[in-house]
Amino acid sequence: MEHAPASNFLENIVAEDLAAGRVETVVTRFPPEPNGYLHIGHAKSISVNFGLAESFGGRCNLRFDDTNPEKESQEYIDSIQEDVRWLGYQWHGEVRFASSYFQQLYDWALHLVDQGLAYVCDLNAEQAREYRGTLTEPGKNSPYRERSVAENRDLLARMKAGEFADGEKVLRAKIDMASPNMNMRDPILYRIRKAAHHQTGTQWVIYPTYDFAHGQEDAIEGITHSICTLEFEDHRPLYDWFIQHLPVPARPRQYEFGRLNPSYTVTSKRKLKQLVDDGLVAGWDDPRMPTISGMRRRGYTRAAIRKFCQMIGTTRSDGVVDVAMLEFAIREDLNENAPRAMCVLNPLKVVLSNYEQGRVEQLSAPCHPSRAELGQRQLPFTRELYIDADDFREEANKKYKRLVLGKRVRLRNAYVIEAHDLVKDSAGEILEVHARIIADTLGNDPADGIKPKGVIQWVSASEGRQATVRLYDRLFTHESPDKGERDFLDFINPASLRVVASAWIEPSLAQAQPEQHFQFEREGYFVADRYDHGEAGPVFNLTIGLRDSWGEQGGGAN
């Protein structure tokens, strides 16, 4: 089978293994722990694991490493499956669970005990830390390290039977307490957790650690290339030690790549959960969250996320990736694919004094300036309109290119108008602008040669629809919110969400489908909310502004 030239070091490894006959079929896996929603860093891991399998005609398993029941739930399992599917990937066969292998893992733990390679230890957590040593000093052997095989077998069976309290005993591998690699200093294989498991219920009261379970799960499933992020590099000798000392059915190999760390973002599941639990966001799928479901709800497309993962590449080094690269990817995608529409966020009424009361004129405009196949949209034009209040001034200098009293402007896809009067309330606030249409300017310049200053958007006051528009911005104001001495919560952006409850939109937008994208002209790219949007109550979320105002201003709203 021929393959395209490799584009990163992992593809080189796989290509060489196939060419040398070390493997016949590439089998990878994506192994999330179901203790939270997936985030943008997981999207990178998904693209690497599923992408390798796709590139080389292999297969990729979805396996939940569910060895920590106290922090896991079915909600997370369901959301992870949904995210993988939404990104456009399909795992091989059924969804797999580490918990399905609990009996086999226990049998292999007994094998290590029988070989004198594992023992039950009674040290408590504080004592175990003291015995473990430091990065510069070796550890020392546990006083329980030389228990007999028979005693260890008996104690492990009693641990499994629930005779001991949580934390009272653990099963440890007997490797080398003087190893320079801390992971090899008699690591824990099993700990007591009297907690119900979302898959196995109360069948088990001891649970394997990730380090013990992971490689053996890979072996059971015939994984050929176990791809991890770089923080697992120091765990690889332990991964290999278990494979070497157990009668596993296959010999997988672990490889590491640099994890994705976008700027202005937190990707720690613990910290993301804190944002949710503390009510600082409206849930795991809040559009400000870097979770895949949050980004989806904000309007990020699978194509943009996958393109971003491709843009940043797969390397052997960790580093911060400028989140502006992700924003570039979504702008590029939506600029090409999002239909255009008009929305007035800060409405100011304009009354056209020379336009017939009650008349509704259907104007036509392209849905996209460069994609004729997307067709035309109808814009009802009436005597009373809404424009954005920022698009009108009583007086302005020549640099101001919008509507000014006594001056002209073109209404987008419609007529040229000239403002001639206004109505104010008792406080001096402008309530209405009165203007007149310049004759014969639908698609034409004024016959008198006085051209308009600029072009502004508008919506019919009688035919348009009110909508709720949520204006989202980056959740954090600092490039590295979770680095340094200060609490990451200190950098929460107080302007990360502004809700406009009475925006005005083209009437057809009320019929938009949830998750349908639009460019609101001169405002940005928006998406109909996945859950809240409906014809009776349109709701749109700002995905991204038309330009990178953070880059232009050194921080600020899009």
Active-site positions read 33, 259, 269
Q: How many angstroms separate the Cα of 294 from the Cα of each of 38, 531, 537?
A: 10, 12, 21
| Contact indicator for 267, 480 with CB cutoff of 8 Å | no
416-424, strands of its sheet edge to edge: 455-456, 408-411, 416-424, 430-437, 347-352, 384-388, 459-460
Distance CA(296)–CA(281), nearest Å, equals 16
Of the candidates 556, 543, 547, the one whose C-alpha atom is nearest the C-alpha of residue 515 is 543
Of the candidates 309, 383, 318, the one whose C-alpha atom is nearest the C-alpha of residue 353 is 383
Q: How many angstroms separate the Cα of 480 from the Cα of each of 203, 262, 380?
A: 43, 9, 48
| Contact indicator for 469, 526 with CB cutoff of 8 Å | yes
- Residue tagged 């497309």 (tokens): 301
| Contact indicator for 298, 472 with CB cutoff of 8 Å | yes
Strand partners, 405: 419
| Contact indicator for 410, 452 with CB cutoff of 8 Å | yes
Name the token pair of 274: 């804190």
Interaxial angle between packed helices 102-114 and 149-160, expressed in degrees from 0 to 180 and rounded to the nearest 10: 160
The DSSP string of 201-249 is BTS-SEEE-HHHHHHHHHHHHT-SEEEEEGGGGGGHHHHHHHHHHS--S
